[in-house]
Amino acid sequence: MIRNEASGVQIADLIEERAAVAPRAVAGPKLDSEAQQQWLDFVERFVAQMRFDDPGQPSPRHGGTNWMRVPLPGPAALTLWRSKPQGVVGAFASFKGSDALDLYQMLLADREVIDHEFIDNDLLPPLWKQEAGEASVALEWPSPWPWSDKEEERQMDLMGRAANQLVNSLRPRILMRAS
């Protein structure tokens, strides 16, 4: 306990009093704008309707404004996103760091088969890209702003199909490598 000898007031007592009357913080993401609230509403609807073929696949979760994270095993990360300025919606699996790049190389060796898995499910083959220290397997589609309810439904369908296929194509291969 700290004591201020000049006034005889104990600082610890003041802190306790103030804590008792201070408003409590509300849990959840901080919202700075209407766009963030619209995104949270979009995420809530998306997560409620998203169904993966793989019953062991965890659900997507809010990441930040205009992006969601879908958990993958190992050093890979799956992100779903949209951009107003670019007028694009997409999904990508990213691989950063040496273990992740080794994993990417293993997947790249199976690229032809993986590409056909996407084509067989009415998706374009993904874009495979590797630059200094990171790599990705990505899909994206034009989605010009402003987004109507119908366009948001289209975005959900595209993101959902992309996420499901990325999980179907990558997750078993990642798990097989880990075992």
pTM across the whole model: 0.81
Amino acid type, 23 = P
All structural domains of the chain with their residue ranges: 34-178
Q: For residue 80, how far is the Cα from the chain centroid?
A: 5
Percentage of the residues of the chain whose pLDDT score is greater than 90: 78
Which structure tokens are listed for 156? Answer: 């959900």
151/30 Cα distance (integer angstroms): 26
- In this structure, what DSSP letter does residue 5 have? T
Q: Are 73 and 171 in contact (CB under 8 A)?
A: yes
Instruction: Give the pLDDT mean for 25-42.
Output: 72
Q: Are 88 and 135 in contact (CB under 8 A)?
A: no
Residue-wise pLDDT tens digits, 124-140: 999 999 999 999 999 99
Domain 34-178 = CATH 1.10.287: no
Sheet architecture: strand order including 127-131: 61-64, 67-70, 76-83, 88-96, 134-142, 127-131
Residue-wise pLDDT tens digits, 104-118: 999 999 999 999 999
Residue matched to tokens 């959902």: 160
Residue-wise pLDDT tens digits, 52-64: 999 999 999 999 9
6/160 Cα distance (integer angstroms): 66
pLDDT of amino acid 67:
97
**pLDDT surpasses 90 at 8:** no
Count CB-CB contacts under 10 A for residue 43.
20
Instruction: Give the pLDDT mean for 45-72.
Output: 96
Residue-wise pLDDT tens digits, 80-90: 999 999 999 99
Give one DSSP letter per residue of 86-147, joined into a string.
Answer: TTEEEEEEEEESHHHHHHHHHHHHTHHHHHHHHHHTT-PPPEEEEETTEEEEEEEEE-PSS-
- In this structure, what DSSP letter does residue 43 have? H
